[in-house]
Structure 1
Amino acid sequence: MAVRAIRGATQVDADDREEVLEATRELVSTVVERNGLDHDAIISILFTATPDLTSEFPALAARELGMGDVPLMCATEIGVPHALPRVLRLMAHVETDRPRAEIQHVYLRGAVALRRDIAQ
């Protein structure tokens, strides 16, 4: 079994607490589903948010999905002037038998524009 990193991102329409939580739940759930992960395979998840998102910690959404025992951390992305606004990102570290080439990185909503090369 190998340790792999899985990237993901989504974009919200507004800095609204419920929208941030809903979009993060969707992102986390989609990463888990597309990569065939079970709860015990998730080592940790690092969440980032663009500086314009301050209404809630994205990690709360993962806790609401039952990941209270998974190490979760939130940080703010650097404020690059031409960056896509209102974006939530994650990097999940997982244990999996999948080769790196079979990892499904997940880019949802407007965040597809960030990585069209690997967005599913």
Structure 2
Amino acid sequence: MRVVSVRGAITVENNTKQEIILNTKTLLENIIKKNDIKITDIISIIFSVTDDLDEAYPAVAAREIGLTYCSLLCLQEMKVKNSLRKCIRVLLLFNSELKQNQVKHIYLKDAVKLRPDLA
């Protein structure tokens, strides 16, 4: 088994606790399902959010879906002019038999603009 990483992102319409948590759950559930990840194989998740999202930590969503033993960290995304707003990004590290080039990165809603090469 090796450690591989998967990236993903999703946007929210409003800066509310409910939207941040709900959309983060949607993103994580998609990443886990599309990559056939066992919860116990997740090592850590780093979340970053744009500076216009400050009503909730995305890590709360991870705990609510049962990710209780992996390490979680929330950061503020670097501010870049004209960049995508109201965006939650994820970097998830997990143990897997997959090779890095077999991982399915997940970009939802307006975040698909971040990786047009994957569309």
Query: TM-score, normalising length from structure 2?
Result: 0.97
- CA deviation profile, 1:24-83 (whole Å, cap 9, x unmatched): 000000000000011111000000000000000000000000112111000000111211
Q: Partner of 1:29: helix, strand, or coil?
A: helix
The corresponding residue for 1:57 is 57
The corresponding residue for 1:81 is 81
Mapping 1:6-25, distance limit 5 Å: 6-25=6-25
The corresponding residue for 1:96 is 96
Alignment-mate amino acid for residue 105 of structure 1 = H
Q: Percent identity?
A: 34
Rounded to whole Å, the distance in 1 between the matches of 2:118 and 2:93 is 18
Alignment-mate amino acid for residue 118 of structure 2 = I
| CA displacement at 1:118 relative to structure 2 | 2.1
Mapping 1:12-51, distance limit 5 Å: 12-51=12-51
The corresponding residue for 2:69 is 69
Q: Partner of 1:40: helix, strand, or coil?
A: helix
Cα RMSD after superposing both structures: 0.8
What runs of 5+ residues in structure 2 fail to find an aligned partner?
none
Point out 4+ residue stretches in structure 1 off by more than 3 angstroms. Answer: none
Alignment-mate amino acid for residue 27 of structure 1 = L
Q: Partner of 2:118: helix, strand, or coil?
A: coil
Alignment-mate amino acid for residue 21 of structure 2 = L
How many residue pairs were aligned?
119
What runs of 5+ residues in structure 1 fail to find an aligned partner?
none
Alignment-mate amino acid for residue 51 of structure 1 = D
